[in-house]
Structure 1
Amino acid sequence: MNRPLVFRILACVVCLDLFEVKGQTNDWRSYVQEMAEEEPDETILENMIEELIQLENHPMNLNAVTRDALERFPLLSAGEAAGLADFLTKNRPVYTVYELRNVPSLSFNKIQLILPFFFVGEFEPQEASLRMRDVLRYGKKELQIRLDKTLTERAGYRTYPDSVLARYPNRKYAGEDFYHSLRFAFSYREKVQFGVIVEKDAGEPLFRPLKGFDHDGFYFILREEKGFLKNVTLGDYRLSFGQGLIVNNDFMISKSWAVTNIVRRTQAPKRHFSAAESGFFRGGAAVFNLNPVSVTLFYSRKLIDANLSDEEITSFKTDGYHRTPLEISKKGNTREQVAGANVNYRKDRLQIGASAVYYSYNRKDNPALRDYNRYYLRGYHHWNASVDYSYRFSHLVVAGETAVAGNGAVATLNAIHYNPSSRLSVSLLHRYFPISYNALYGQAFSEGGKVQNEQGIYLGATCSLSSRISLTSYIDYAYFPWMKYGVDTPSHAIDGYFLGTYSFSDASKLDLRYKFKRKEKNAHYPDDESTTVLPYYTHKLRLRFAHVPEKGWYFRSAAEAVRYRQQYVSEEFGYQLSQQIGYRGKGKMTGEMYGSYFDTDSYQTRLYSNERNLLNTFYIPSFYGQGARLALSLRCAVTSKFSVSVKGAFTHYFDRDFIGTGTEKIDGSDRTDVYMYIRWKF
């Protein structure tokens, strides 16, 4: 690569659009997209996007919203939700959403971010009782249809002779080469929610052999905030207790987001409306209100996929794919049962909770013994229990959870969030997860992705130096006292982050982001076959300009560079230049075009696309090698209740003759994808 030329281009691309127009910049979709590069679990992000879209379509009335509803809102931290609830209690009725500027705990950027989710309606001093005629008359219904297809032929869809398939039956997919899903949702305020989803992945058969879609699910939720039976949930749902040490299949906190949202809170059951086929509960849950105590009970029973050896579980299969005979044979081959409870006491600023969960399987969980997995869970059943707490001072929140596993191992996580004003926020978190601690549905703040084999400390801060300049930064250190997959000794990790933003106006801003990570992995010395553990370093730098008015043309220009270095190995580099241009006006049509050029040395220097997706579609591709990406999306609002969205994406590689491997292999250097999304509200 010509490095001087690269960096001259980086500077030019960002400077193309430096002009000032009034409008709105803080789009929550961009905010969530920032998390995607840190959070590898697509199910978690898809669930968050689903919930935010639902709230955007049905915004909350500031004169009626409850404290519980504010605490369920993913974009508010525990302190921000409490501060907003206190403000509304003292100042209702409010007359405009811009009165949010008077909430001390909300920064200007946070207010801009959450504005689409609130409106000012009628003041309701007393919560109206739930009446069936109102549910049927005023309930909102919505049908969503999605279809995705890759136009470029992949190996799994080719025609093979019977003799080849007899020898290699998993070389060909059993189904059609498109993705398809149908979703129906019904809601009445925050009180009643009902939905059904059916879905097939590309390669899975549709209506063959007359079994319908590969995946289906439903949910029903009834909420009565002030009743004895506060919440009843049936079907597919998600839960979160405490800080997530024993149960959390709800949202996960990325490190950059944790700067202001470090403290988690126990959540009532939520719907699982995602097409993800793992990571949720299926059964029933209920929340009983014994003010100031609430009690949550839940039970789940479902068939899950697992990889088996001698009828024992070696690992759980969570990708949800059932395309080849081998994948189909694993579908629903294991029965899982989970039951648990949470008792939560809340009085004024104090919250204390106690939780327990029990798992059982009809097969023995017995991964093939390796040094790194010596302390993994084994057996037919397991349990966890925990105690969690939080206390809110005027500008300080302290929270934590301590949990025990069935083998007696104890894990703990404790955090402090200090918010002296809307201009400054500081978070500190410590976690201690022993190597012998296991929690199958636990999901807490961590570097390694599991609540196991990790000790660490995190410090993050965000500061508004003025109305135009804001800074966000964190540093996280983690120590892994036992070996991991691909790391044959105890190891360390350091993760650093800096984001500086300059706002030219409400519509235009420039940001500079730097990310640093140091980790360790197995490696070979040069000219030596012996294996050792060596550190590697990744540096990422992004410069981005955005001009996003409320109406009219908008632009986003970005230049990114990455550097990867491993000891005794030559350095690797990469960069990406991208440009978004879109238009949204008063008419029925809106559209956006995205183009990028990337040039990276290897997978280690991969970079992520900044393109927008269709509504309710989560896909953020990463690229490495040398190539270009072009995407075009259009949306037509035929009526106020019926819309059709389409997207086409084309990727060309300059450095290869094929794309992908195995059944996903494409012969050639091009890939073309099309997407369609239909939405009907009635």
Structure 2
Amino acid sequence: MKAGILFLICCGLIFQPLSAQTYRKGEINLENFVEEFFAMQRTDADYEDLYESLLQVFLNPINLNKTSPEELGSLYILTPSQIHHFFEHQRKNGPLISLYELQAIPEFDLETIYKILPFVELEDNGNRTVPFLTRVGKTKDAYLIMRQNRVWQTRKGYTPPDTLSNGNLSSRYIGDPNNLYLRFRMQHGKDFSFGFTLDKDPGEQFLWQPETQRYGFNFFSYHFSIYNRGNLKSLSLGDFQWQFGQGLVYGAGFSVGKGAETITTTRRSSIGLRPYTAAMEYGFFRGVSSSYQFGPVLASVFASKAPRDGNIQVADEGESTQPFISSLPTSGLHRTPTELAYRRQAKETNLGANIHWMDKSRRLQIGVNTLWTQFSQPIQKKPQLYNQFEFAGKENHVHSAYFSINLQNHLIFGETAISQSGGKAAVIGMMSSLHPKLSLSILWRNYGRDFHSFYGNSFSEGSRPINESGVYTGIHFKPSSKFSWSVYYDYFKFPWLKYWVYAPSQGHEWLTRVQYTPSKKVLLFVQLREESKARNISALPGFQSTYQLSQGSKFNYVFNLDYGIDKIWSIKTRVMGSRFLFDGRTSRGFAISQDINADLDRWRISSRIVLFDTQDYDNRQFIYERNVLWAFSIPALQGQGMRYYLLAQYKISPKFVIWARWGSTVFTDRETIGSGLQEIQGNTITETTFQLQYLFNR
């Protein structure tokens, strides 16, 4: 039967060849992922974590013959029905012997196969009979990356200090404007991974000072992990993250949430341990983690103790003084004496555990999470009306139970949690394939105003699972291989006050996107989105301004055309704009961009020019930009002007790859850019990036 299936597939390839025949697995088209997963890009989103997640799967492809529903679901590409048919195909026909066999699986159209090809494989190159050190020395997934980036205009923070009226000197940056980055990693999927990441932000001092744990670079991350040693499924030392359930307790990685992909991104997969290799200086554990398999049960534990940036103050309580943490900065910036004084001042200890059970059919999963956190000093934020239910104290613990069940074309999932304060949170959702051409997703969530989870990252309108309830509904309709229509509607409420929203409020958000792909060379889509949320009316006089709200409504539109001229040249044209209504006032903004890209044998060149005109901050325009490997760029365009960039990549040899990037923004409505120590005198800001990658064993 297997031979017959392959024969039919190969015959079909004569007339409709799978792109894997000519597919060059050189890089992820991250631009397409960002535009499909995210309705509108934001500055507060952690896109570096998305890039990290995608590249880790790209560099460690999923073995389709040894995968699980959770692992396939973590790609956010396959629907529950497609996952169900995949495992049914394996159950009836045995392991796949060719990627072309994917075309024989029901509901696996060519577009779906193209999307998953960069992230999957059939081979298992990990020969465990070879000594460990030999495997390490021969792995091809080993590289060293060095990067330098800087802005060439002089910011105020790098100028000589002024003398203040009290005789003191004004604050300035203590370092140079260079951003330096160094990354080393050796890995082999499902076998081992180890490496380190070093980073120095602009304005930080490049200083060798072991007593303050500064070794040239300001930030140092490292890990050593091994996998699949019998029943020992993972053991990791150093920096790592956890992801189990729907993210109420452990929500490592990027939570996609709402976007043009309206179905698969509503659910989170329990992928367990993930080594942390990014340069962000928060959101990870540092210590030891281990997972052990007991039949159908996977038991995981970890212990972590990591320094945190903290603003430590002293409370005067009679004869004694009690230090406390007034805030935990997450910017990771240590450019001024004040910022440097916050560095590593607090200590955070975490102990966590998970028990995950899966039945033999791999359709039902049940698990429990627990996390205990202790800080070196109690947290005591400045009392405000809106934050009175935020965490305060020295210790917190949070516990949850979750489940996931796949009923052929329907996937039902959920998680419920409770924190030390008694605050509760719950998520329950369903993804359903109603028809091969029609999918539906529904998700309900309710996060208490006093629910505290420091590493939670579940589906939400806000950035944290706290003080929110809502219902999300998404639909995806694909009547043919050329047309698709996606739409979602999300209604949410905030039962308690929020920052700049000093009363309980509610809102909604919807998006619709129509996409037309007449051929592999052409992609055309139109996207509309509207969001309504309340905020304070700051213009009101006196005491009224604190509590009077008005509903702000923002409408966005995007028209996009991608066209591949030939195998070398491609272009992208985009028109986007917005309208913001608040308290009887209307403001607008728009941007027009044109890309020209070339993909030669050793060269890859990308270029863009953007014209933008926005009336205020609420209408700033976000457009994803191509960048060097492991770097991310989504500038917020505000005001009037023009932005352009040029990116070149050259493969010197199988071992060496270099990148160079130049970008500049010219404003026509100002002679000063930025404010405070970031201020630039003039109307132009220009940045450059240079990067070198060395690939071992190539």
Q: With structure 2 as the length reference, what TM-score do the two structures score?
A: 0.88
Q: Distance in 2 between matches of 1:36 and 1:164?
A: 49
Aligned to 2:182: 182
Matches within 5 A, 1:319-334: 319-334=331-346
* Residue type of the alignment partner of 1:117: F
**How far apart, in 2, do the equivalents of 1:352 and 1:485 lie?**
36
CA deviation after TM superposition for structure 1 residue 176, in Å? 1.3
Match of 2:569 among 544, 553, 573: 553
Question: Residue 356 in 1 paired to residue 393 in 2?
Answer: no
Asked whether the 8 Å contact 1:231–1:268 carries over to 2, the reply is: no
Using the TM superposition, give the Cα deviation of residue 441 of structure 1 relative to its aligned residue in structure 2, in angstroms.
1.3
SS at 1:571's partner residue? strand
2:76–2:264: 8 Å Cα contact kept in structure 1?
Answer: no
Matches within 5 A, 1:213-232: 213-224=217-228, 227-232=230-235
Q: Per-residue deviation at 1:119?
A: 4.1
- Alpha-carbon shift at residue 248 of structure 1 (Å): 1.3
Change (3 A) 1:550 1:433: farther
Over the aligned positions, Cα root-mean-square deviation in angstroms equals 2.6
Q: Deviations over 1:541-574 (max 9, x none)?
A: 0000012478310111000111000122x21011
* Deviation per residue, 1:29-71 (Å, 9 max, x gap): 3212554665657674212212322433454454565666545
Q: CA deviation at 1:443?
A: 1.4
Q: Find 1:472's aligned residue among 470, 475, 486.
A: 486
Q: How many residues align?
A: 655
Displacement after TM superposition at 1:111 (Å): 2.3
Shift of 1:234: 1.0
Higher deviation after alignment, 375-384 or 408-417: 408-417
CA distance in 2 between counterparts of 1:307 and 1:548 reads 52
CA deviation string 1:163-213 (max 9, x = no partner): 89972452x111111100111000123211111111100111112557321
From the superposition, tell whether residues 90 and 422 of structure 1 become closer, same or farther in structure 2 (CA, over 3 Å). Answer: same
Q: 1:298 Cα shift?
A: 1.0
Equivalent residue number for residue 101 of structure 1: 103
Q: Which moved more, 1:282-291 or 1:547-556?
A: 547-556
Residues in 2 aligned to 1:201 and 1:453: alpha-carbon distance in whole angstroms: 34
Q: 1:451 to 1:57 in 2, by over 3 A?
A: closer
Q: Which residue of 1 aligns with 2:139?
A: 139
Aligned partners of 1:107 and 1:422 also within 8 Å: no
Alignment of 1:375-390 (within 5 A): 375-390=389-404
Q: Shift of the alpha carbon at 1:525?
A: 6.2
Q: What are structure 1's unaligned runs of at least 5 residues?
A: 1-21
Q: Deviations over 1:133-173 (max 9, x none)?
A: 55134323200111101111111111236789972452x11
1:388-399 equivalences in 2 (<5 Å): 388-399=402-413
**CA deviation string 1:333-380 (max 9, x = no partner):** 000001111111110211111111100001011111111111111111
Q: 547-556 vs 457-466, which deviates more?
A: 547-556
Aligned to 1:340: 352
Q: Does 1:250 align with 2:268?
A: no
Matched, 1:564 2:580: yes
Given that 2:628 and 2:659 are in contact with CA atoms closer than 8 Å, whether structure 1 keeps it comes out as: yes
1:400, 1:415 within 8 Å by CA — same for their partners in 2? Answer: yes
Alpha-carbon spacing, 1:65–1:164, altered in 2? closer, same or farther (3 Å): farther
Give how far 1:118 is off.
2.9
Matches of 2:392 and 2:78 in 1, distance apart?
A: 38
Deviations 1:625-650 (A, max 9, x none): 10100100101100122100110001
Match of 2:10 in 1: none
Task: Give yes or no for the alignment of 1:533 onto 2:534.
Answer: no
Q: 1:508 to 1:640 in 2, by over 3 A?
A: same
- Counterparts of 1:204-283 in structure 2, within 5 Å, are 204-209=204-209, 211=214, 212-224=216-228, 227-256=230-259, 257-283=261-287
Q: Is the 8 A contact 1:44 1:252 kept in 2?
A: no
For 1:352 and 1:62, how far apart are their aligned partners in 2?
A: 23
Aligned 1:89-168 pairs, distance under 5 A: 90-104=92-106, 106=108, 108-121=110-123, 131-132=131-132, 134-140=134-140, 141-160=142-161, 167-168=168-169
Does the Cα contact within 8 Å between 2:198 and 2:217 map onto a contact in 1?
A: yes
Contact in 2 for aligned 1:47/1:273 (Cα 8 Å): no
Q: Which has the higher contact order (CA 8 A, sep 6+)?
A: 1
Per-residue deviation, 1:526: 7.0
Amino acid at match of 1:533: L
Contact preservation (8 Å) 1:204, 1:214: yes
CA–CA distance in structure 2, aligned partners of residues 37 and 179 of structure 1: 30
CA drift of 1:85 comes to 4.6
Residue 530 (structure 1) shift: 3.1
Q: SS in structure 2 opposite 1:613?
A: coil
Q: Check conservation: 2:74, 2:268, Cα contact below 8 A.
A: no
Q: CA deviation at 1:98?
A: 3.5
Q: Note the C-alpha offset of 1:602.
A: 0.5
| Structure 1 pair 615–233 and aligned structure 2 pair: CA distance change class (3 A) | same
Secondary structure at the aligned position of 1:173 is classed as coil
Distance 1:77 1:233 in 2: 31
| 1:305 alignment partner in structure 2 | 309
- Label 1:37 to 1:154 Cα distance change in 2 as closer, same or farther (>3 A): farther
1:127 and 1:261 mapped to 2: Cα distance?
A: 35
Contact 2:89 2:105 in 1 (8 A): yes
**AA paired with 1:231?**
S
CA contact (8 A) 1:580 1:611 kept: no
